[in-house]
Structure 1
């Protein structure tokens, strides 16, 4: 007998894309999670865990938004570790990683995907 594992994902509404100012992060309670939402350009929105991977403090939405080449980044406001917004890779300390979530904009509303 063969069994298959079905992966389920949920798209959860967070806020309107117009509610975010480009180049800044905002924290949103999406479901039961605190997520940092960052609008970088137009309707391009990234979602990452709001907790700093180094300290565990809920501060990432207040991070410094920038880029490394064509890769959008956010730097922790505490110790300035720099993370890729798309992958969560830490440029300054390879032992750290920031959890990322996929986003989409539907009818002007940002939705965040959780794969529980």
Structure 2
């Protein structure tokens, strides 16, 4: 198991507070939907056919354009990393950690997220 996978699992295990944000039926396979969480827009990406994780939560705010559009981006894979392409300037953000492939100084916030009995929950603590 890689070090990044261990960190991801540790962050999921150590989350003390989970907040329900929507039902699993509200998700769109291989696409994004946006939810409101404690004053932030969070883009949820549901990738049911992906190896390992199938659900990701990442900031909806594109730092380059200043628009809240990440949830409308196209999901793909670059060099084995699952990414979302911003719909405006097309820069790619890794769903795993929010880092931008083209501009390393840009990073989106990510949240732990899980499905719990048909409910999508995002870790807030």
TM-score with structure 2 setting the length: 0.78
Moved more, 25-34 or 82-91: 25-34
Supply the distance in 1 between the matched residues of 2:43 and 2:31 (Cα, whole angstroms): 10
Give RMSD over aligned pairs.
1.9
Higher strand share: 1
Q: Determine if contact 1:104/1:110 at 8 Å carries over to the other structure.
A: yes
Instruction: Could you tell me which runs of 5 or more consecutive residues in structure 2 were left unpaired when the two chains were aligned.
Output: 1-13
SS of structure 2 residue aligned to 1:61: helix
* Contact 1:12 1:31 (C-alpha < 8 Å) held by counterparts: no
Normalised TM-score (structure 1):
0.84
Q: Distance in 1 between matches of 2:17 and 2:102?
A: 32
| Partner residue of 1:23 out of 7, 22, 30 | 30
Aligned residues between the structures: 109
Q: Give the structure 2 partner of residue 72 of structure 1.
A: 82
- How do residues 16-95 of structure 1 correspond to structure 2 at under 5 angstroms? 16-41=23-48, 44-95=54-105
Q: Note the residue ranges of structure 1 that are not aligned, 5 or more in a row.
A: 1-6
Cα distance in 1 for residues equivalent to 2:47 and 2:15: 28
More helix by share: 2
Cα distance, 1:9 vs. partner? 4.4
Deviation at 1:75, TM superposition (A): 0.8
Per-residue deviation at 1:31? 3.4
